[in-house]
Structure 1
């Protein structure tokens, strides 16, 4: 097998892993919509406690090493646990609660653009002229997809302060994950001694520690679970937390780590469009609604942009 064929095979595998990760991550938009009676605090803590407990179980049964890692590795682990997990998702769910899922999707939906551009700024992998066309097409498609989903009349039930705070939460979440996506890929490339599976598990341990530390503070700051919640409804929270913690957090992170080690950051960043698209599709399926024509057209334009980006990368 020639080196070119091996590189091409790794790239195709990375693309498949990246798409798979984002199809799983799309569930993160669906679960809060299915659990509207529970507060963002409850959904966030439920997700990351389950993620952390799974990581503990994996360490016990698979023998993943906790010792032997340097302080810079653990420092990155803690920082990524905040920016890529607890802090990011809490802000995302809080934004959905304050201003609604469609508006948050508009902002978070620009992640493919911000990650691709920031990743290429931090580590110049392609001339920016090669990124201009695919990123521009993706951005155009995302605008069409998300604007078709905004119910502007629905904003009337929220105060201006709530809307601004919700938008601020979404923007901060966007900045956090943009930095995390690029920094995480850089870490995996410069620390080949840490496997993708071990790294997902180690971040889960750090996430559990942060969740345990944050829980008492969050529980005394207000309505931490939700009002009028019966014991039967808590089973839905447990099920949603298991889906988010086991499948979305650990499984999605594992696939994304493997994709990040195989692809240029600017290419991997463009694949994040599948999180937004899959999230909207899941919500449509759950609600029994039909997507508007503008939204369908926008999805087609987004996919076209991704294909152009992949072609540009392979040509380079």
Structure 2
């Protein structure tokens, strides 16, 4: 049975009560099938990499230490974050499944915002772990006990859930008397507000304030942690010891740069790139959500010796 054209499908969905239509990547409809291929490949890598990382951390007792426990939590967050957007994006690009119910749309929006905040929070927790390990190594075992790690993880999860819990209610209570076609590939908060027939200044201000506060707070304290780490390393009498200490931070620094660089680039193009085509905005927004979950397990697998050794050992054991 031939697939309905995108405009026809969008018009039919827009007329359905309680439903929205995700436009996908507007302006690049003719390339949707081809664009889905790299996104599908990245999603498969993200699934395989993060599941493997979780399995390695769980099975190897020597990895049951704060840094790797936080890494396992980060991998779980990456799995949820990528799975909340990529399957629907691929359904749009390959099969023209633009329809999404209001409840599914609100759930997707909540997961995207809440788990992005959790990812940033786990980066902060890992930076704190590196600070204690390098600046106060004798106290590391007593400061970051399993109980403390669990409390930090709970605080990160609660922050993401509680602060973004109002988002679905803020959007769900709005009247949508305009078009119900969302000019995006997923249910983005600001894109939904643009469809409402009411004053959304307060809701938009609340969301932007949260993004700035969470991002600013985490980046500030991550920078502070690494500033103190660098000062401690520079004071070490042995240059080799300093390089070894920084080596334990290299993978963490790489994934932080990947996450915040894509986030800043996406924000700048969305807010100030008025001459940038809308299709480029949508592509960058999707890259921001899929690239960190794809690269994080690769970076940690390559640059962290303990994890690399465990993966190689598992591969060679299977071959034998």
Place the TM-score, normalised by the shorter chain, in its bin.
Answer: 0.3 to 0.5
Q: Which has the higher contact order (CA 8 A, sep 6+)?
A: 1
Higher CA-based Rg: 2
**Which TM-score applies when normalising by structure 2?**
0.32
**Which TM-score applies when normalising by structure 1?**
0.33
